[in-house]
Structure 1
C-alpha cells in the first residue's frame, strides 16, 4: 500500500528540535503518548518496532522511517519480539501542513494550503513552495549518511552543534522529498523547475506557451503536465500567480501607482491586473495596500 504524504508549505522549512536513540528488548512497547505537539520521526536501525497512531498500525522493520503527527495518539501496537534499536527526531513547522493519501490529493489541495499558510505564517507577499515527505518509507543510503551526522555532531560545542543540526535536518528532508518521486516524476519535476526559473527571471516580459516551447524545447502540453505535477498549476497560471505575488511586494514596499505596478510586473492593462489580483486575493490592489499600510 502506498504511504500517505505529509505536505508542508515553506518557508519556513520544518525545523529540527531534538534527537536521540532508544533501545527495546523483547516484551517492551513503544511509549504511549497523546498530542505531544511535535512531529516524531522514527528510523529503525535494528529489529522490528510495532507502533500505532490513531488506530492505524505499522510493523517498522530495519531501515524504515515513520513520521508520527504532533496531534495524534501514538502507542506500541504490540510488544517487540526481539532487540530493537531506533533513532528518533522531533521536529515542528510554523504555518500550514496536511496529511494526504496521495500526491494527487496533495496537488488538489495545494492552492488552498498555500493560502492558509500565508495567513498563518504572516507571509502575505512571500514566494512559497511545497515540501512532500512520505509518512512511511524505506530510508536510502544517502539519507542515512545525512542522518548519521546528527550524532557525529554530538561532540561539537552546543552553539555550533545546534546550527549544524538544523542544516543537517534540512538536507535530510530534501533527500526524503526527492526520494518520493519516481524516475518519471523526477524528470517532470526537473523540467518544471526549469520552467519556474525561466518565468521568475522573465516574468516582466511577454511570455506565452509557444515561447516556452521554443525556449525549453518541449511541447507545450508536456510543459503543462510537468508544471501541474510539481506546482499544481500550468505555466501560464504560475506566471499570472507570480506576477500577482510580485505586485503585492510593490504595493507594500513602494508608493507607486497601481497602473505603474501593473506595468512593472508584466500586465499590459491595469484593468486585467486588477481583475486577476481581485480574483486571487479577494480584494482590489488598492484595498490590499490600504489593509496593510496606514496613511499618516
Structure 2
C-alpha cells in the first residue's frame, strides 16, 4: 500500500507518493530512482556480464516479479539471455494461483518460463510430505527441496547465474536467523553475489540485485507498475521462525529507522574482514563436496535433501 502524504517530490514538486523532505518522491521519480539503484547494485558487484544466461527464480510474488521485469528492461543496454524458473511445491489453493501470475508476467516480459515440481522431481508434493506430521517443519522441507530444484533447474537451463529476488528485509532476517540458530556456515556465501564454492563444480552462482532495497519499496514499485501480484500468503508461513524475526525487525525499524540496513551492512563488513585477513592460499568458504548418496554439491558428506528423504 502506498503512503498517504501531503509532501511534494524533492525532484519536481509533484505530489509525493513516498518519503518526506529530501527523500520525498513522486511516482515517476520513485520508479526512476528504484531502477537506478538496482542498476547500481548490479554494476557495483559485477553481477551480470554481457551475453550471460540469467535464470530468474520466479515465484509469482512481488520481489521475483519486480526482478524479472527490471532485468527484462535491461536487455537492450546489457545484452543477456533471460529465462525464468518456478518451483511448484504442490501447496493446494496457493501455488496454482501464483503460477497463473508468473505465466502472465513472463508473457509481458517476453521471457520463457520453466516449471519444476516437487511431485515429479521428488516423488511427492509438499502437502503429501507433511500429511500426518505435527505442526512445524514445513519450511524446512520446502526450503531444502526448493533450493535443490532451483539448482537442478539452473543447471539444466545452463545458467551462468541464478537471480534471486531477496530484498533488504530478507537479507537482515537471514543474518539474524542464522545467528539465532547458531548456523554461521550458512552465512558464508550469503551476500549480494554468491560464487560457486570450493573445488566442487555444479553450484550455480547466485545474484541478488534487490538486496539493497526495502520490502515496502519493492511492494510500492510493483503497485505503481501495475503488476497483478497475488497477496495471498503461503498457508505454512505462520509456522516459520522467519515470521517472528520479521516482526521483531519491523518493530525495531519503526523505532530505530535504518536498523535493517545496518544489520546487513555489519554482516558485509565482517565478511569482508574475514576475506581480507585469511591467507590467500586458504579458502574462506567451506568446500563443497559431492554428496555420497546423490552426488549433488553439499557442505557435508550427505546432503540435506538425502537426510530428509531418509528420515521421511
State the TM-score, normalized to the length of structure 1: 0.24
State the TM-score, normalized to the length of structure 2: 0.23
